[in-house]
Amino acid sequence: MSGGLPQALELVFLDPAVWLIVLASAAYGVFIGATPGLTATMAVALLVPLTYWLGPVPALAAIVTMVACAIFAGDIPTVLLRIPGTPASAAYADDAHAFTQRGQATRVLGVCLLFSVVGGLFGAAVLMAVGHQLARVAAWFSVAEYFWLYLMGLSCAVVVSRGPVLHALLGLLIGLLLSTVGLSAVHTEARFTFGQPELFQGINFIPAMIGLFGVSVVLRNLFDLPARGESPGAAAVEPVAAGTGRKLFRLLGAVFGPAATLMRRRPRQLVRSGCIGSMIGMLPGAGADIASFVSLAASKRAGHDDATPPDPAEGIADATTANSASLAGAWIPALVFGIPGDSVTAIVLGVLLMKNVKPGPEIFESQSALVYSIYLIFILANLVLLPIGFLAIKAGGYVVRVPRRVLLPVILLFCVLGAYAINGSYFDVGVMLGMGLLGFALERRGVPLGPVVLGVLLGGPLEERFIQTLTAADGSPLAFVNRPLAAALGAICVVLWLSAALRGLRRQH
Amino acid sequence: MTFLLPPTPAGGRQPAPALRAAATALLIAAAAGGCGREEAFPQRPIVLVCPWSAGGGTDRVSRQLAVLLERDLGVPVNVVNATGGAGVTGHTRGALARPDGYTLTTITPELNMLHWRGLTNITYRDFQPLMLVNRDDAALFVRAEAPWQSPEDLLRDIRARPRSLKASGTAWGGIWHLSVAGWLSAAGLQPGDVIWLSINGAAPSLQELMAGGVDLVCCSVPEAQSLLDAKQIRCLAVMAERRLEGLPNVPTLKEGGIDWSVRGWRGLALPKGVPEERRRVLQQAIERVATSPEYLDFLRTAGFGAAAEGPEQFTTVLRNDDQRYGALLTGEAFRDVRRQRFGPLVFPVVIGVLLLAVLGALVASGGLRPIDGGQALTVRGLDLATWAVAWVVLYVLLAEWLGYLLTAAALLLLLFWRLGVRWQVAAGVTLVLVPATYQFFAVWLRVPLPWGLLGW
């Protein structure tokens, strides 16, 4: 195994093609991530034909870099426009956009960037150090454990939301109910489809997310758009964000300064978020989105007892660390058992097999150079993200300065394109519009939208695991708690609900 | 970014080539219309509908074929994953697509099961089969430390303790479920004697096998290859006619005296009614591609079984499969299996009740009134919001007919005008944004944005 590392160093760092591909993929990933509706899975699938002509190392470099950059870039529209670029950013959409409204977009984007990079590096370190041993853990998770895990993710969405608990719960239940439209994954029997074949596949969560966040933002803004001739009323303009030339150093300070301070102040929380991300990413079927909600909940719970109200930037930092750390986690079961940790690694497995690389425990012995190369690529990808992400933040600064009356139609066009892109279906565009109206109505009544999106996203898997667990036990509800790990996860869920209920009661008095 | 640029007629910020291409396309269309027959086919991007999600076996085969077909035909071939509904969505979309030869579908055996289960009216008769491009045999897998050494051991155990063992491999009623049900029937047992957990896909089923949630997984061999190589699972038997090359020590079910074999397959098909000349062009291209060394190489390294069967053989396969699965799914033995104990309405009812409870509590406490600091619903705001909603509706109605470029440009200008943007700004933004988004989405990201009046 010792011969692998020098060979890997040579494969990764001495090949100019790898560097070029990493840079190009980073730019591609930033575009994909920053455009709501374009998912990393779709972008990777598009890269696959390209990898036929590449060696395994450049091919994997392209995929790893692209995904790492896409997850960070999802934060950019989240912060600037409150439209999550990827579901992984939905957890802190409200918190993050609040900074922009106060004119602090640069600060919070800097936090997102720096903590994404550190989270990604943390995930890579976990993959390198204990990936081989940790793979066993994924094999402990049966359907009952997954049921609790999904319920935990959903509960976290309620816990982290701003505002009253009951409102968040209402949003969550609406999302869950929407997720039951179409053929259920378990029964493949049609429900609530009203004979429409398009509804068989249910409500796709990407158009739903674009509608709930994007279209509702457009509608909300149209209502307080000043009439023609009045003051332009552009969103809060930041003087620093658009700095050029000489101001570069000042801008660097503005982006990374507060983030670095935050990081120095809270090393323990950083490790916690990284661990949450790696563990959740490692489990097949749970990814960056759940990781980010759980980490945010952990952050808010932990800081709850302090007398001073916690800085929302801390929560954002923890969540964005976790969602980036989860990416490397997904590779653990993929490499060790050939079981993909998420849809991206599913495609990666296809690429590996095409290159005659068979994943499995022996890959660490027989292909050690390739495994080390993957580790190095993860490090390289996250380091490249620093300058590329910085440029993206700088470019994002200009978006905020575009007058709203010009920006809103453009956003609307991107919403339509994003909803259409995922499946090439006009029905999805209609879903997006309906969800936009729903989102607008819910927001007016103080119902947060994050739980709705997570409900639509996780409702299907939750129901699947619920019915599977019941079926496996022939109807006995004991099946949910009769394995030690399932019981432990169930206990965490109960604690979460109790704490949420307490918070609700305390608020009333 | 140039590495993803296929030879399509539209330049990002260079309107000149785009215009030229559009004009050429118009001319060709006019000429074709005037002569009343085809000048050349294909001229524009072809869509390959894949009913299963990205990263799965069908997706991998589809994407490989798309790359090779693209090279052969000289036009982009875009894979669209129309997933959901256990394959209903993709198969329906493929069968109902316009029969102009520009939509192909990767069909799978589920086509012959869905209509028997009342999920769709689409059958194999709605398709024109082109070519069967891959076949995989089903096999039975258990954990490495499981007590059973042969399929007979397993049958003995099931007979002794019915409904104590759990199995999976795919969703309820999918091909591997029918494989196990047919095997049990052939052995004189009830299909319901093994509890089937409806898990979507082979990979999560194998993960469940390792976690101890199920005792038996039925899926194709390439899907389980990594775990098999890692010695985490064992293969008890293959459901093939004869032993497989890759697994010479694993017996077939037939050797144990049970005549039951199942093969999954994948094939390309057109909707019914495509003109014969176009069908022949595609047929020949697919034949070249499916027998090319590159494709066979891909199948071998990925572990997929090779096959290349033309329309007649493919139709026979489809007809036989349809009769076989029809008999199984509508038969007496399968009836009790068809209905699951926990029906599709259990979960929605639980959620619905909770929702009503929360809603009731909120309404009673007055928590659902519009929040303080919310905006007033002004007449002007309502007017603009109605415009925005109408904007999206208009896009949906017009895009297919007018094409993306014209629709997007017209609608953008309309909304800019309503919002009172100066016309110079509006025109500038529209002229830059519309071609740029086309380049980004349609050319680089292969989103099938329509051309409408401008060409196709």
Q: What is the DSSP string of B212-277?
A: TS-SEEEEEHHHHHHHHHTTSEEEEEE-SSS--SS-TTSPBTGGGT-----EEEEEEEEETT--HH
Evaluate whether A388 touches A380 at the Cβ level (below 8 Å): no
The CA distance from B166 to B180, in Å, is 11
Decide: B9 and B25 in contact? Cβ < 8 Å.
yes
Whether residue A291 contacts residue A454, with contact meaning beta carbons closer than 8 Å, is answered with no
- Counted across chains A and B, CB pairs separated by less than 8 A come out at 314
CA A256 to chain centre: 22
Give the closest residue to A17 by CA, choosing from A47, A68, A57, A46: A57
Helix (H) or strand (E) holding A121: helix A105-138
* Cβ contacts of B388 on chain A, cutoff 8 Å: 215, 218-219, 222, 408, 412
**Contact across the interface for A141 and B211, Cβ inside 8 Å:** yes
Round the average pLDDT of chain A to a whole number and report it: 82
What is the least distance, in Å, from the CA of A249 to any CA of chain B?
A: 29
Whether A499 contacts chain B with CB within 8 A:
no
Question: Whole-angstrom Cα distance, residue B262 to residue A293?
Answer: 43
- The answer, for B229 touching chain A at a CB cutoff of 8 Å, is yes
SS3 label, residue B187: coil
With contacts defined as CB-CB under 8 Å, which chain A residues touch B163? 474
Q: What φ, ψ does residue B82 adopt, rounded to 5°?
A: -95, 85
In Å, what is the CA distance from B322 to each residue of B111, B239, B329? Answer: 8, 18, 10
Which one of A22, A223, A283, A428 would you mutate to disrupt binding with B, by most B Cβ within 10 Å of its Cβ?
A: A223
- Hey, what long-range contacts does B33-41 have (CB within 8 A, 24 or more apart)? B38/B275, B38/B277, B38/B278, B41/B101, B41/B277, B41/B278, B41/B281
**Residue B428 has what pLDDT?**
93
Cα–Cα distance between B61 and B58 in angstroms, integer?
A: 5
**Residue B419 near chain A (CB below 8 Å):** yes
Q: Give how far Cα B343 sits from Cα of A468, B322, B347, Å.
A: 11, 26, 8
B431 within 8 A of A468, measured Cβ to Cβ: no
Asked if A424 is an interface residue toward chain B (Cβ–Cβ < 8 A), one would say yes
Separation in Å, CA of B324 to nearest CA in chain A: 21
Q: First-to-last CA distance in chain B?
A: 26
3-class DSSP state of A483: coil
CB contact under 8 A, B210 and A337: yes
- Average predicted confidence (pLDDT) for chain B: 83
- Which residue of B lies nearest to A190 if distances are taken between CA atoms? B119
Length of chain B: 456
Q: Write b or e for each residue in A190-229: b if 16 or more Cβ atoms lie within 10 A of its Cβ, otherwise e.
A: bbebeeebbbbbbbbbbbbbbbbbbbbbbbbbbbebeeee
**A252–chain B Cβ distance below 8 A for any pair:** no
Q: Which residue would you say has higher pLDDT here, A50 or A420?
A: A420
pLDDT in tens, A127-162: 888 877 777 777 788 889 889 988 988 888 888 777
Is it the case that residue B27 has pLDDT exceeding 50?
A: no
Q: State whether A45 and B55 contact (CB < 8 Å).
A: yes
Residue B128: its H or E element: strand B127-143
Q: Which residues of A touch B416 (CB under 8 A)?
A: 405-406, 409
CB contact under 8 A, A467 and B195: no
| B383 touches B418 (CB < 8 A) | no
- With CB atoms and an 8 Å threshold, state whether B198 touches A187: yes
Which pLDDT score, from 0 to 100, does residue B39 have?
58
d(CA B281, CA B73): 9
Complex ipTM value:
0.81
Q: How many other CB atoms are there within 10 angstroms of residue A232's CB atom?
A: 8
In the stretch 28-87 of chain A, residues with CB closer than 8 A to chain B read 28, 31, 38, 41-46, 48-50, 52
Contact at CB, A472 and B166, closer than 8 angstroms: yes
The interface residues of chain A toward chain B in range 214-243, judged by CB-CB distance below 8 A, are 215, 218-220, 222-225, 227-228
Q: Residue B121's closest chain A neighbor by CA?
A: A197
Let me know: does A203 contact A432? Beta carbons within 8 Å.
no
pLDDT in tens, B165-177: 999 988 887 889 8
Residues of B in contact with A353 (CB under 8 A): 301-303
What percent of chain B lies above the pLDDT cut of 90?
A: 38
Q: Which two tokens stand for residue B430?
A: 């529209």
pLDDT, residue B33, reads 41
Interface of A with B in 146-165 (CB under 8 A): 164
pLDDT at residue number A500: 80
Between chains, do B384 and A225 touch, taking CB under 8 Å as contact? yes
Q: Give the residue from A106, A94, A146 showing the smallest Cα distance to A452.
A: A94
Question: What residue of B is the nearest CA neighbor of A416?
Answer: B392
- Least Cα distance to A139 among B61, B53, B230, B60 occurs for B230
The pLDDT of residue A303 is above 70: no
pLDDT value, residue A239: 43
Phi first, then psi: give them for residue A211, nearest 5 degrees: -65, -50
Cis ω on the peptide bond leading into residue B42 (within 30° of 0)?
A: yes
Instruction: Looking at B36-174, list the stretches that DSSP marks H as alpha helix, in order from N- to C-terminal side.
Output: 57-73, 88-96, 111-114, 151-160
Question: Which of A202, A358, A437 comes nearest B226 by C-beta?
Answer: A358
> How confident is the model over A415-441, as a mean pLDDT?
89
B380: Cβ contacts below 8 Å, ≥ 6 apart = A227
Task: Report the chain B residue with the minimal C-alpha distance to residue A346.
Answer: B55
Tokens of B18: 């785009």
Q: pLDDT tens digits, residue range B410-431? A: 999 999 998 888 899 999 999 9
* pLDDT tens digit sequence for B288-324: 999 999 899 888 877 788 888 999 999 999 999 999 8
Q: Give residue B416's identity as a one-letter amino acid code.
A: F
Tell me, what DSSP letter sits at residue A482? Answer: S
CB contact under 8 A, A424 and B212: no
pTM of this prediction? 0.80
Does A223 contact B378 at a Cβ distance shorter than 8 Å? yes
Is B381 within 8 Å of B403 (Cβ atoms)?
Answer: no
Q: By the CB < 8 Å criterion, does A463 face chain B?
A: yes
Contact flag B84-A182 (C-beta cutoff 8 Å):
yes
Question: Looking at per-residue confidence, does A189 or A427 come out higher?
Answer: A427
A15 CB-contact burial (10 Å; exposed 0-12 / middle 13-18 / buried 19+): middle
What is the distance in angstroms between the Cα of B212 and the nearest Cα belonging to chain A? Answer: 7
Contacts with B167 from chain A: Cβ below 8 Å = none
Q: What is the DSSP letter of B201?
A: S
pLDDT at position B13 is: 37
Contact B204 A197 (CB under 8 A): no
- Give ∠ CA B289-B295-B296 in degrees, rounded to 5: 120
Q: Which residues of B touch A463 (CB under 8 A)?
A: 347
CA–CA dist B291, B306 (Å, integer) = 9
Q: Which two tokens stand for residue A132?
A: 């081989």
Instruction: Please give the helix or strand (H or E) that residue A280 lies within, else none.
Output: helix A267-282
What mean pLDDT comes out for the span A429-452? 90
* Confidence bin at A217 (pLDDT 50/70/90): confident
Sign of CA dihedral B403, B409, B414, B418: positive
CA distances from A185 to A464, B170, B171, B207 (A): 6, 10, 7, 17
Task: For A465, name the nearest residue in chain B, comparing CA atoms only.
Answer: B199
- Cα B106 to chain centroid distance, Å, stands at 8
B80 close to A (CB below 8 A):
yes
Q: Do A223 and B351 lie within an 8 Å CB cutoff?
A: no
Phi, psi of B46 (to 5 degrees): -100, 140
pLDDT at B10: 37
Contact B223, B195 (CB under 8 A): no
Report the sign of the C-alpha dihedral through residues B312, B314, B317, B320, in that order. negative
Gap between the Cα atoms of B192 and B209, Å rounded: 19
Q: DSSP code of B137?
A: E
Q: How far is residue A441's CA from residue A221's CA, in Å, rounded to a whole number?
A: 14
d(CA A87, CA B33): 47
Query: Can you give the pLDDT at residue A1?
Result: 46
Q: pLDDT by residue (tens digit) across A183-204? A: 776 776 778 877 776 777 778 8
Q: Is B5 on the interface with A (CB under 8 A)?
A: no
pLDDT of residue A243: 44
Residue A228: which pLDDT band, with cuts at 50, 70 and 90? low
Q: What mean pLDDT is predicted for residues B118-122?
A: 82
The shortest C-alpha distance from A232 to chain B (Å) reads 11
The Cα of B11 is separated from the nearest Cα of chain A by a number of Å equal to 18
Helix A368-401 to helix A248-265 angle (10° resolution) is 120
The pLDDT tens digits of the residues spanning A361-376 come to: 777 777 888 888 888 8
Tell me phi and psi for residue B219, to 5 degrees. -160, 180
d(CA A101, nearest CA chain B) in Å? 15
Interchain contact B453–A (C-beta under 8 A):
no
Contact B343 A187 (CB under 8 A): yes
Put simply, whether A347 touches B (Cβ < 8 Å) is yes
Distance in angstroms (rounded) separating the CA atoms of residues B210 and A371: 24
Pick from B102, B210, B289, B377 the residue to mutate for testing the A interface (most A CBs within 10 Å).
B210
- Both tokens of residue B293? 């060394």
Those of residues 134-163 in B touching chain A at CB distance below 8 A are: 163
Instruction: Please tell me which of the candidates B1, B354, B441 has its beta carbon nearest to residue A173.
Output: B354
